[in-house]
A and B are shown apart, each in its own frame.
Chain A
Amino acid sequence: MPAIQTRGLRKVYPASTAKTARAAGPPPPGAPPPGAPPPRGEVIALKALDLDVAEGEFFGLLGPNGAGKTTTIGILTTRVRATAGTAHVGSQDVTGNAVKVRQLIGVVPQRPNPDRSLNVLENLIFHAAYFGIPRSTAHERAMRLLEQVDIADKAHAKVDAMSGGQQQRLMIVRALIHEPRVLFLDEPTVGLDPQARLSLWEILRALHAKGRTIVMTTHYMEEADKLCDRIAIIDRGELLELDTPEALKQRAPGGTLIEITLGGPADSAAGRARLLEGVLRAEAQGPMLRVFSDRGGRVISQLIQAAEEAGANVHNISLTEPSLETLFVARTGRKLD
């Protein structure tokens, strides 16, 4: 049995409770039949997600905002109820046995949400108590973990006196205090400066090296690439790709992605670009001309010429080497962030 398994996982937010808004409306309607268009105002966050995460794996959910990553984590951490499908963590059903699942998991939220009425150590000792851990054990574990993430000197500090990076480390320690089997992290490095991000990566690598199963969502391709054993690329509630970072990169369309923003529609320029030598693929999306080239940036001058011949001014040019990013763009026609 894998550490995590989902089958046909679907989540539809009814119009009356669409995520942040809250209204005491009628009970949410049942799931519409698959394939049926959503009634007005409904949000389909997940369509039918099948995932298997192995014990000890560092698993990444990569996708842009609104892809369904946070909903997936929400369901797996028992905080969101799936509309259809099944999800198991450590062979426990997240719906039928939520209490057992909560014992097996640690959760690091997207934005640090420590208990601001308590200091750092109190946060950890009380959190451990919510998991039935006696004070003396909790104190010893808390100090050891704080030491390991380099914030032991903040043990008696107010949470508000800590930087964003330090608060995020506190969230990791809090998630580990009851020694969970699976650690979930939802966009853990959003809002962190580059240095804080790197040291967080180091902490996650160390945890992974000790065999802990980690599931992390991110919309940073580099983060997924550097940390994860396998990556699921999801967009609009659907799984697009699932493999190791190396295999995914090999699957990326050959060549460099060249994106040229024009002053007007790019369709005619795309037609001309396709005729150029070294252009593997060219497509237009509004004023954006997207070209995959096997000659790197050397086709740029010809592309500019083609655009101008098509009567369009060039406003901006960007180049991206073959990567998870170019794979994502090729699959969805959009960038990750």
Chain B
Amino acid sequence: MTTAFPSRVAAAPNDVSVWFVFLALLRRDMHVARKEIVFFLVRTTMQPLLFVIVFGYLLPKMNFVGSGYQTALLPDILAVSLSLSAIQSVALPMVQDFGWTKEIEDRLLAPVPTQLIAAEKIVAGMIQGVIAALFVLPIARLVMGPIPGLTLTHLGEVAAIVLLGSLAFSALGMWLGTAIAPQQIGLMFSVIIAPMLFFGCAYYPWRGLDVVPVMKYLVLVNPMVYVAEGMRGALTPDVPHMSLAVVGVALLVIAGVFWTLGMRSFFKRAIG
């Protein structure tokens, strides 16, 4: 064995650029995501795509639902894909890393504020949410055929909703992934994610809940509602929907709350 180690460096190293480290962390996550892109796309888009096939193709073909249902469904499918993928891209690695693999410890030793590591994870989750939405849109359009009332003229609004929605759900993923004990991760899906999907106005417009007023106001605590309604307002504006201004403000507030909770919870896990 060679044992010619260099002598230790006596001088104190210079300060490390926070941006350099942030980009290195992001590059690492994107590098890993790229390697696992097939699993990532299958994981995050399988459920929405199955919905597209059943509710957007089979049921209309059987005449169980009117053709207008497809118009209501498309924005929701996008909302569900981006939300699920943003949550899972952050929550699952956090549960694994803090629960048993401890792999994140190499990053927790980086000479930057600990919150920066969490912020990067949220941004990485956000990017993965956007990718999922971009991936599902053309496929959904392909499976469902022409969708009456679909317009791509409000791309600015679509982009804003996609970014804000991904941010909110990625931050939620950070909070859930660091606050839930690893052995309870199954509960996260059945107690949090499933109700969020079913009561998220993701398979019916919020205005449709006029028939059940209690429900209409109860679901407002669900962040999914705002992403779904935002997508509806931006992609199929003819379908009755929540005001985009309200959606924007609500998503900003939700993102801020989850960001704060996620950061706090991450820090608690990182520093004993």
Task: Assess A22 versus B272: contact at CB under 8 Å? Given A118-B28, A148-B4.
Answer: no
Does A88 touch B at the CB level, under 8 Å? no
Q: Mark B172-197, 1 if CB is under 8 A from A, else 0.
A: 00000001010000000000000000
Question: A117, B106: Cβ atoms under 8 Å?
Answer: no
Q: Which residue of A lies closest to B8 (CB)?
A: A212
Interface size class of B (residues with CB under 8 A): 35 or more
Please choose the segment from A46-54, A203-211, A238-246, A260-268 that sits at the chain B interface, where 4 or more of its residues have CB less than 8 A away. Answer: A203-211
Task: Assess A117 versus B35: contact at CB under 8 Å? Given A103-B12, A130-B107.
Answer: yes
Does A179 touch B at the CB level, under 8 Å? yes
Question: A113, B102: Cβ atoms under 8 Å?
Answer: yes
Cα(A90)–Cα(B107), bound, Å: 21
Which of B3, B5, B27, B32 is packed against the most chain A CB atoms within 10 Å? Answer: B5
Question: B6, A179: Cβ atoms under 8 Å?
Answer: yes
Please choose the segment from A104-112, A301-309, A311-319 that sits at the chain B interface, where 4 or more of its residues have CB less than 8 A away. Answer: A104-112
Question: B110, A102: Cβ atoms under 8 Å?
Answer: yes
Cα(A51)–Cα(B8), bound, Å: 22
Residues of B bordering A, CB below 8 Å: 1-10, 12-14, 16-17, 20-21, 24-25, 27-28, 31-32, 35-36, 101-103, 105-114, 179, 181, 265, 269-272
Known: A116-B101, A178-B13. 13 other contacts (CB 8 A): A79-B108, A80-B272, A99-B111, A102-B109, A103-B111, A105-B109, A107-B105, A113-B103, A122-B31, A129-B28, A130-B109, A132-B16, A206-B5
22 A-B contact pairs sorted by A residue (CB < 8 Å): A19-B272, A24-B179, A77-B109, A81-B272, A99-B113, A113-B106, A126-B31, A129-B20, A129-B24, A129-B28, A130-B109, A131-B21, A132-B16, A132-B21, A147-B2, A148-B3, A178-B13, A179-B8, A203-B3, A210-B5, A210-B7, A213-B8
Residues of A bordering B, CB below 8 Å: 13, 17, 19, 22, 24, 74, 77-81, 90, 98-100, 102-105, 107, 109, 111, 113-118, 122-123, 126-127, 129-132, 147-150, 174, 176, 178-181, 199, 202-203, 205-207, 209-213
